[in-house]
Amino acid sequence: MGRGRNAVVAFALLALVAGAVACGGGETHTQGGPGLPVLSGALRQGGSTTPIQHVVIVIQENRSFDNFFATFPGADGTTVGKAEPIPASWGCPVPVPKETTIPLTEVSLLGAGFGSGFQNQQGQDLNHLYSAFQVEWDHKAMDGFDLEQLGAGGGEGYACTYTYQYVDPTDIAPYWDMAKQYVLADHTFQVQGSGSFTAHQELIAGGTKLSEGEALIDDPTWFPWGCDGLSQGPHRLVTAIIKRGGKVYPYGGPFPCLSYTTMRDLLDAKSVSWKFYAQKVEKYEKNDPNRGNTAGIWSAFDAIKAVRYSSEWGSNVTWPDTNIFNDIETNNLPAVSWITPDATNSDHPGVGSDCGPSWVASIVNAVGKSAYWNSTAVVVLWDDWGGLYDHVAPPEPRDWEGGPGFRVPMLIVSPYVKPHVDHTVYYFGSILHFIENNWNLGTLGRNDAHSTSIGNAFDFTMAPRTFKPIASSKCSTSYFLHQVPSGIPPDTE
């Protein structure tokens, strides 16, 4: 799998040929680095148009950029947030009598550090549905975060100043190590200002558009959130829908077993291998016949009818997520893979575990120590902002589907990147755009089509870098391999 300097030189020569064809009217695609052109028809070993033959997308949970990288050198972070006045009747631990700025509190990854004024000292979930996005965004002012509510979907009191926090960098040292060694993209935005269900769909489909005037927004009404959900009865699933003009029809959408195209269709059409690693979707919890279990939210293809009811369910969609380690060890890593964690390894506030950074480090180290290193890009990102403060307003213009959403962190780990903070505006579709270009797949025609490819972060004229392991002192790979699934629903919105 490894390539030496000669292969890179050969690739550079190929680029010169591509440039010559471009001068003669042939089509080229800029695939990153210093404007390096790549012939759309010239494929490398593994069918790719660059040295990258494997893209691994690691999806974590519910963190804004400022929450994890507020103080990272050279990044667009802050430790001071803007806030609107809070009514005294709310009884907030920290009064906010007028429009003001609020220092962000440094907290542990588990979320402690706010004193007795908040219910949950191990982290508190926050409302991060579309309605919460609108309040916090406040027409680009980015000052409504103190007016949001605690709890998934709200209903557990007011957030007050709780959202104004950032995590102690020593608690997420593996992420900072990756950012220092490779690429930290500090202007990566969700496609839509909403929660986990749509975010995970965006990472396989480039959006949740159903028709010319309709798109899904927010989460379905119950668990699990896909074809394994209940289609009949009092707890049957429907989805929220947004229509042109920005009007939201609360839960006026379809049963979330969907037929729109995804990356699976493009990959299968070109015989490019793929897998989605997740926890198993259980129909019901043992003690509650009405409530669905774990990975129905995060196993995105469970909501795609063509996958859920085909032989690809259980083969291309595989569980548990730790199968990734065996596939790397046995030389069976697919060209494209998505990985979602057990809730306790997800970084989600309130899960009572700080193993998330170690979980991601274990995946990066498994790739880095294998023969796959010289042909792989690992992309790590967080699916949504989780209601936590971020100071950068999403780019304009706003679209009728409810986006763009807020910033989330994104790390790009590869032997073909130099250490830097990338200020390019990326969306979730930027990852899909790179994959589409890299294997000449065509396009889904959604957010992927008009988002700048993450290829901007690479320099394919450089010799592949030697891998340096990511240090992690919390949870080992052996721990994850022997971990009993928590059974905790990964998210509730």
The rounded average pLDDT for each run of 10 residues, N- to C-terminus, in the chain (493 residues) is 36 35 31 35 73 98 97 98 95 92 95 49 77 96 94 80 95 98 98 95 96 91 84 83 86 93 98 95 56 62 96 96 97 97 92 94 98 98 96 95 96 98 98 98 97 98 98 94 82 69
What confidence score (pLDDT) does residue 35 get? 34
CA distances from 170 to 71, 107, 428, 462 (A): 12, 11, 27, 31
Q: Is residue 246 helix, strand or coil? A: coil
Report the alpha-carbon angle 255-344-162, nearest 5.
85
Residue 407 confidence (pLDDT): 98
H or E stretch covering 274: strand 274-277
Quickly list DSSP for 278-291: -PPP-SSBTTBTTS
pLDDT at 29: 30
CA distance 127 to 65: 17
Instruction: Give me the domains of the chain, ranges plus CATH numbers.
Output: 54-66+168-207+257-481 (3.40.720.10)
165 sits in which H/E element: strand 165-167
* CB contact set of 427 (below 8 Å; sequence gap of 6+): 188, 189, 190, 191, 404, 447, 451
Kindly give, in sequence order, each residue whose CB lies less than 8 Å from that of residue 447, ignoring residues fewer than 6 positions away.
191, 202, 206, 207, 403, 427, 428, 429, 432
Which DSSP string corresponds to 281-340? P-SSBTTBTTS--GGGTT-GGGGBHHHHTSTTBTTTEESSTTHHHHHHHTT---SEEEE-
Q: Residue 140: what pLDDT?
A: 97
Question: What does the pLDDT read at residue 151?
Answer: 77
Q: How far apart are CA 430 and CA 446, in angstroms?
A: 11
Q: Up-side HSE of residue 421: CA atoms within 13 Å toward CB?
A: 14
Helix and strand totals (H; E) in the chain: 12, 19
Q: What angle do CA 183, 188, 189 make, to 5 degrees?
A: 165
* Share in percent of the chain as helix, strand, coil (round to 5): 25, 15, 55
Q: What is the pLDDT of residue 294?
A: 53
* SS3 state of residue 196: helix
